[in-house]
Amino acid sequence: MDFDDLNTISWIYLIIAIILEASGTISMKLSDGFTKIGPIIAMLSFYMVGLSLLALALKTIDVSIAYAVWSGLGTAFIAIVGVLWFKEPATLIKVISLSLIIIGVVGLNLEGGH
């Protein structure tokens, strides 16, 4: 397996880690202040596996790029879930701010980071 294959696998790990981190955050919200055991167990599981996959992704992706993508896309995803699922307000400032996060993540990836 060459570097390109490992790099592709690392990006897949990173995307799955983002989804799991967001799932953990949703579970945290659903735990109702740590009063519901099911969402608490789900949260801990999602975070544990998600952080493990993030660690694997860091084998070939620069930490500055991986963490920016992980935190930025995770934040954007959770904000979208908040608006669509939890009926949080979608203000103009929120939409602009999320757009800037996504633009920043894209910019970091276009920079290369090899």
Q: pLDDT tens for residues 21-34?
A: 999 999 999 999 99
Three-point CA angle 99, 100, 105, nearest 5°: 100
Domain coverage including residue 88: 3-111
Model confidence pLDDT, tens digit, residues 62-73: 998 999 899 989
CA 39 to chain centre: 18
Residues 6+ apart with CB under 8 A from 56: 10, 13
| pLDDT exceeds cutoff 70 at 112 | no
Q: Is the pTM of this model over 0.85?
A: yes
Q: How far apart, in whole angstroms, are the C-alpha atoms of residue 114 and residue 95? A: 31
With contact defined as beta carbons under 8 Å apart, do 69 and 105 qualify? yes
Mean pLDDT of 48-66: 95
Query: What percentage of residues in the chain have a pLDDT greater than 70?
Result: 96
Domains: count for the chain: 1
